Amino acid sequence: MLVATPNLCIDRTQVVTDLVPGAVLRAQEVHVTAGGKGVNVARVLRAHRVPATVVGLVAAGGGEQLRTLLREEGADLVPVEVPGDVRVNTVLVESTAGRMTVINEPGSPLSQEDWRGYCAAVARSLPGNRALACSGSLPPGAPPDAYAQLVDVAHHLGIPALVDCAPGALAACLPAGPDLVSPNLQEAEAAITGDTGHLLVDAHTDVRARASAAATALLDLGASAAAVTAGAHGVALAERGGGAPRWWASAGVAVVSTVGAGDAFLGGVLVDVEAQPAGRVSWPRAVLLGSATASASCEQLLAGGVDPQRARELYEHLQKRCAAREGDDDPR
């Protein structure tokens, strides 16, 4: 699998007792890892023993530390060197309340030449891979249709492209016809309407109806299939020509961290894509494994961390639940 994740970063996860604005706090634990949504996706793939190569921008300032962190965890990196500094994302975990606060830096600005070099690196790395996953934010200076360009590169080579990114980049890539998009509900609705003010859940929301409507709307805008995740509520899948959207409830787990759960979802989908015959992907089956993998990742502190055996256990649990509800093995 090839994972295009331009905006690489270094994640600093700090555990504090309570987050008190305006106070001086001392961290109980500090974990420094390579980051970026695609790095988390690749972690899931490696945990399942699926080869994964990450193509990422590596800025000069902090680049050596980033390379070292990726090398130490066994990541296969195709680096594209650019000026500037590697961004640092801060994750604050409150041990008392269990809440998480995430501060994401934007990344160093790119030139048009930098982006052309990145696209060329993706194109060189794609042949021989089963799929391209485009994942994560775009640094300042990247073209709005950046992921649409990468989808076109993949399709030119006859390789499916999956996309999970911020609303603006998602909206811009839909006309290119990505094979699957996997935004969360807020991202999906923002991409469709341009309104970022939606709440994922409130007292009057019907999450299942909203997710299903969003998945259908993403097809109307160009996606071949859309899986809209809604956290602990579940996921809606719509496929072009596939009838009404399907809905899966989430597997209930004891949550340690939800950071990277969407990345684990995409990683689980890709694990199943790797196992299926080329050109004959069953998205319902892949999405079910994605849902199980996302749930398993919530039991881990590290973003993208997942126990593959636990993911399989939850997958089997979801399969049985679906079979009991539908009277067969079709996970609807």
**55-103: pLDDT as tens digits:** 999 999 999 999 999 999 999 999 999 999 999 999 998 988 878 899 9
Task: Give the pLDDT of residue 254.
Answer: 65
Q: Cα 215 vs. chain centroid, distance in angstroms?
A: 16
**Which is higher by pLDDT, 75 or 327?**
75
Query: Mean pLDDT throughout 202-207?
Result: 68
Q: What is the model's pLDDT at position 17?
A: 94
Across all residues in the chain, what is the average pLDDT? Answer: 89
C-alpha to C-alpha distance for 84 and 310, rounded to whole angstroms: 40
Return phi, psi of residue 254, to 5°. Answer: -80, 110
**325: buried, middle or exposed (CB in 10 Å: 19+, 13-18, 0-12)?**
exposed
Beta-sheet pairing, 161-164 with 76-85: unpaired
Can you give the pLDDT at residue 241?
85
Share of the chain above pLDDT 90, in %: 69
In sequence order, what are the beta bridge partners of 12? 32, 90
What average pLDDT does range 297-323 have in this prediction?
A: 79
Average of per-residue pLDDT across 301-309: 77
C-beta contacts of 280-288 below 8 A and 24+ residues apart: 281/160, 281/179, 283/180, 283/225, 283/227, 283/237, 283/239, 284/237, 284/246, 284/330, 284/331, 284/332, 285/331, 287/227, 287/235, 287/237, 287/248, 287/331, 288/248, 288/315, 288/318, 288/319, 288/322, 288/331
pTM of the model: 0.88
Domain ranges of the chain: 2-20+27-326
Regarding predicted confidence, which is higher, 40 or 318?
A: 40
Q: Where are the alpha helices (DSSP H) in 16-139?
A: 37-47, 63-72, 112-125
Q: How confident is the model at residue 276 (pLDDT cuts 50, 70, 90)?
A: confident
Q: Which is higher by pLDDT, 164 or 314?
A: 164
Give the CATH superfamily of 2-20+27-326: Ribokinase (3.40.1190.20)
* Neighbour-count burial of 76, counting CB atoms closer than 10 A to its CB (0-12 exposed, 13-18 middle, 19+ buried): middle
